[in-house]
Structure 1
Amino acid sequence: MNRDLDLAGFELHPQRGAVLGEVHARPFTRLIAPVTVLRFAFLSQGEVAAADRQKFVAFCMSHGQAPPDAGTKHHQVTIDTTQLRWEQHSEFSTFTWIVSSGTPARRFGEIGDQSAALIRSLSQSGQLLVAVKLEVEQTSAALERAQELFERGSLAVAAVRSGPAVVASDFRSDDQGFVRILVCNDGLSPGRLGALVQRVLEIETYRTLALLGLPAALELAPSVDHIGRRLVEVLEEMQGAEDLKLNNHLLTELTALAASLERGAAGSLFRFGASRAYYEIVQARLAVIEGGEIAGYPTWSSFLARRMAPAMRTCATMEDRQADLSIKLARAADLLRTRVDVELEEQNRDLLRSMDERTRLQLRLQSTVEGLSVAAIGYYVVSLFGYLAKGAHDGGLHVEPSLATAIFVPVAVAVVWIVTRNIRRRHLKHDERSGAHD
């Protein structure tokens, strides 16, 4: 009897479901023109992102919609004629409002009062960075419509690779603060139209996020320039610096410069890396949607390349300068530290030589003192012996005090010298044992 094989007997990896589900995350929304799409992106990380998520959950529940599951980064709800797509990323969250009117809008991006009130009711704690107003129109007169809406000096138009459609924008903020984008559909299916709109929105979102690295690079530029100039000055001072105090001062300054540089590099590491990743996403999305140039107007790729590429090069150059300066500072500090160590060793050598000379003088003085001590102690012992000899003579013994004292002098001196020498030897042996134990 045949049975279907299941995975009941296997130990599944805890991340298997998340990995498989990632392929189906953020699906395209099927769209039918005419439709107005508003995209907001808020910078939110950590506690701010958690608070904004709770606000979105409360918004869903207040309108009778199911909230996102715990850990879910994408969710979509439909309220009357308005759809809301919520997506949470590593440093930002997006809210995409899709308003379908069924009839062409009287003005670009115009939505009803009910939809406007619904959008305003969902507040966020994070800072607003991206605000896009995208209008999808069912028309074949794409160029005429684009020329009517946008400033011609900044207008970029491109045919869509996947079918009969055109995208256009001047990438400028309107009076309400929105960047306006026009999508003219002339036969795309709802699925392809939804995919096109999502990719266009991603281009504008990631374009803005990528350019966040430029202010950081410009802010770091004066500090990096100062560190570079000061490094050259320190290296010049190092060539003529022979004083240990001056070398120590230069080493302290190099350490401070390196700390300042590393602080700036650590702060900009994520920003420059994120800008590089976002720029790559923009280029990937442009490669997917663009099909060709229209009527001599620049395509989105050429338009954005002229403006984004210099900014990205600035960020990359600043990142390279930080890395290069870090290596040079470390090398200069090593050279200066080596010079300081050599100077300290020379000072220690001179100090040891001075101590050795001082010890030699002390030994000579000690030998002299020992000789004087032997004479003094011998004189004292002989004097005592003289008193004993005189006492013995006065007591009736046949002893000549002067002769006995004279004979005793070399004996006393010899005995005192031998005793003193033995004492010194014992002290030296004790010091040697103590030094060996240390």
Structure 2
Amino acid sequence: MAKDKNEDQDAPSDRSAPAPLERAPSFPTHPLRESVLGEVHARPFRPVCSPRVVLHYAFATSAEEANRDRSWFSDFCASQGAAGPAPDARYHVLPFAGGALSWERHTEFTTYTWDGPATSEGSFAPLPANNPFGSAFRAPGLVLVATRLDLLEATPDENWRRHYDPASLTVFNVEGRAALAATDFRPDGNGLTRFLVLNESMNEVQCGAVVQRLLEIETYRTFALLGLFEANKLQPEISAIETDLVDLSHRMQASADLEANKGLLEQLSRLAASLEAGAASSSYRFGAGRAYYDIVVARLKALGEEPVVGDLSMSAFLGRRLAPAMRTCQAIEERQATLSRKLARATTLLRTRVDVDLEQQNRSLLESMNRRARLQLRLQQTVEGLSVAAVSYYVVGLLSYLAKGAKDLGLPVPAPAVTIGLAVPVVVLTIWWTVRKIRAHHAEKSEDNPD
């Protein structure tokens, strides 16, 4: 037994301290690593418990308005004795009035969401007087989304239905029938669309997830519908361009004059410029609308929505109203793209016709210039012949004066008439040869330097 005890003492003890972990190696860090890691945790579900009232506003903001709003919100947080958002933060939560005020900055809008204790267990009781959206609140831009959501414990009575319009009321179960939700998407007397969530068995995390998804559906479906009004605004312009293109196409068939084709080409260019201006101004709105609509569809699926017998579900309601609006935007985009291709083909065809007419005109002009050049060459040759005779005449005249002077001085020269007669052919040939050499020299220089 003693031996066994000694052996146990010699054996390594299981209670010995673990070896210290080696320090992880340090590598150069990508400048966006922190942002990427933080993005996964951005806008988390905040646990909430019932009864609770939630106020949610979304304001359309430009970059300048968003920067001013960040500065104001930082000052507001400081006035509450809390830190404001970081310079690059897009999400911040401020404890306020027994609840939390959430600030979020998006690409083209800014949202403020406050959740606090409800003043009553009944649905849509008067708002808490200490909510943050009073006279001290500064709206960062034009409000587009204003929503109130009441999270209450489920009750057997359905008195809450009196707050809604039966014609557009949607009622549905969420989270595997753990709660009942309802809305009619209509603003109340305060301009707030109303959502009601009656909690059966959801925990606080599930409540927070459902509340956030419902608010996101309301926000993104509203911003998605902005594309519909852009499409309605563009539709008359596109129809007018299509009509003008048909008219110009018929006129192109009957047009054979160069000036008329130039006029048609100018009109086509104006139509194309007008179409491209409209497409450029609407491309962002349509692209954003598609992205917002995809988010709405994703949030509806995440809700785990189940219809309630006898009531319209949210998916059915939005499917009948939001989906057609998105198809309208898509149809306008396709019309723009199709019309742009048609204008490009018509412009190319007409430009080709104009180019052919211009080439024909240039060919005629070149032929006319060639005829004129030949006439000038003949005239030049005639003038050259006359100039040989004229210069020879003057040179012979000078020689006659020389011969007469030499004779009068008694120099041994033939008679002036004989001298002049003998000099005439020599002078004429010499002048002709000289003029020919000069012309040949100029011809060689023009060939060497065409410019």
In the alignment, what sits opposite 1:53?
Answer: 70
Answer yes or no: is the 8 Å Cα contact 1:162–1:289 preserved in 2: no
C-alpha deviation, 1:109, in angstroms: 4.6
Distance of 1:348 and 1:207 partners within structure 2 = 61
1:65 equivalent to 2:86? Answer: no
C-alpha deviation, 1:180, in angstroms: 0.7
Q: Return the match for 1:321 from 308, 326, 335.
A: 335
Q: Return the match for 1:111 from 121, 127, 139.
A: 127
In the alignment, what sits opposite 2:259?
Answer: 245
Answer yes or no: is the 8 Å Cα contact 2:51–2:118 preserved in 1: yes
Identity of aligned residues (%): 46
Q: Using a 3 Å threshold, how does the CA distance of structure 1 residues 318 and 394 change in structure 2: closer, same or farther?
A: same
SS, match of residue 194 in structure 1:
helix
Distance of 1:127 and 1:192 partners within structure 2 = 32
SS, match of residue 154 in structure 1:
coil
1:152 equivalent to 2:169? Answer: no
In the alignment, what sits opposite 2:425?
Answer: 410
**Which stretch shifts more, 16-25 or 94-103?**
94-103
In the alignment, what sits opposite 2:38?
Answer: 21
Distance of 2:85 and 2:421 partners within structure 1 = 119
Q: Using a 3 Å threshold, how does the CA distance of structure 1 residues 145 and 282 change in structure 2: closer, same or farther?
A: farther
Cα shift readout 1:321-354 (whole Å, capped 9, x = no counterpart): 1122222222222222222222222222111111
Number of aligned pairs? Answer: 433
Q: Return the match for 1:227 from 207, 230, 241.
A: 241
C-alpha deviation, 1:65, in angstroms: 2.0
In the alignment, what sits opposite 1:297?
Answer: 311
In the alignment, what sits opposite 1:175?
Answer: 189
1:78 equivalent to 2:95? Answer: yes
Distance of 2:267 and 2:79 partners within structure 1 = 60
Letter aligned with residue 128 of structure 2: G
Q: Using a 3 Å threshold, how does the CA distance of structure 1 residues 112 and 140 change in structure 2: closer, same or farther?
A: closer
Distance of 2:282 and 2:379 partners within structure 1 = 68
In the alignment, what sits opposite 1:121?
Answer: 136
Answer yes or no: is the 8 Å Cα contact 1:109–1:134 preserved in 2: no
C-alpha deviation, 1:152, in angstroms: 1.0
Scaled by the length of structure 2, the TM-score of the pair is: 0.90
Cα shift readout 1:399-428 (whole Å, capped 9, x = no counterpart): 344344333322222122111111211222
Letter aligned with residue 124 of structure 1: A
Distance of 1:109 and 1:252 partners within structure 2 = 65
In the alignment, what sits opposite 2:389?
Answer: 375
Answer yes or no: is the 8 Å Cα contact 1:41–1:129 preserved in 2: yes
Scaled by the length of structure 1, the TM-score of the pair is: 0.93
In the alignment, what sits opposite 1:101?
Answer: 118
Q: Show the 5 A alignment for 1:267-416.
A: 267-393=281-407, 397=412, 399-416=414-431
Distance of 1:71 and 1:108 partners within structure 2 = 37
Letter aligned with residue 112 of structure 1: P
Distance of 1:5 and 1:15 partners within structure 2 = 27
Distance of 2:249 and 2:413 partners within structure 1 = 94
C-alpha deviation, 1:365, in angstroms: 0.6
Letter aligned with residue 136 of structure 1: L
Distance of 2:22 and 2:228 partners within structure 1 = 55
Answer yes or no: is the 8 Å Cα contact 1:55–1:124 preserved in 2: no
Cα shift readout 1:352-373 (whole Å, capped 9, x = no counterpart): 1111111111111111111111
Q: Return the match for 1:198 from 186, 204, 212.
A: 212
C-alpha deviation, 1:121, in angstroms: 2.0
Distance of 2:24 and 2:440 partners within structure 1 = 88
Q: Using a 3 Å threshold, how does the CA distance of structure 1 residues 341 and 86 change in structure 2: closer, same or farther?
A: same
Distance of 1:153 and 1:398 partners within structure 2 = 136
Distance of 1:26 and 1:221 partners within structure 2 = 38
Answer yes or no: is the 8 Å Cα contact 2:171–2:308 preserved in 1: yes
Q: Return the match for 2:61 from 44, 48, 57.
A: 44
Cα shift readout 1:142-176 (whole Å, capped 9, x = no counterpart): 7x244322111111111113442111111111121
In the alignment, what sits opposite 2:448?
Answer: 433
SS, match of residue 123 in structure 1:
coil
C-alpha deviation, 1:385, in angstroms: 3.0
**Which stretch shifts more, 225-234 or 273-282?**
225-234
Structure 1: gaps (5+ residues):
none
Cα shift readout 1:262-312 (whole Å, capped 9, x = no counterpart): 111111111111111101111111112143221221110011111111111
Distance of 1:415 and 1:14 partners within structure 2 = 90
Q: Using a 3 Å threshold, how does the CA distance of structure 1 residues 6 and 126 change in structure 2: closer, same or farther?
A: farther
Answer yes or no: is the 8 Å Cα contact 1:25–1:74 preserved in 2: yes
Cα shift readout 1:26-74 (whole Å, capped 9, x = no counterpart): 1112121111111001111211001111111111111112212221111
Letter aligned with residue 104 of structure 2: E
SS, match of residue 184 in structure 1:
strand
Q: Using a 3 Å threshold, how does the CA distance of structure 1 residues 10 and 404 change in structure 2: closer, same or farther?
A: closer
Answer yes or no: is the 8 Å Cα contact 1:99–1:111 preserved in 2: no
**Which stretch shifts more, 329-338 or 360-369?**
329-338
In the alignment, what sits opposite 2:156?
Answer: 141
Structure 2: gaps (5+ residues):
1-17
SS, match of residue 86 in structure 1:
strand
Letter aligned with residue 131 of structure 1: A
Answer yes or no: is the 8 Å Cα contact 1:202–1:282 preserved in 2: yes
Answer yes or no: is the 8 Å Cα contact 1:43–1:128 preserved in 2: yes
**Which stretch shifts more, 426-435 or 174-183?**
426-435
SS, match of residue 130 in structure 2:
helix
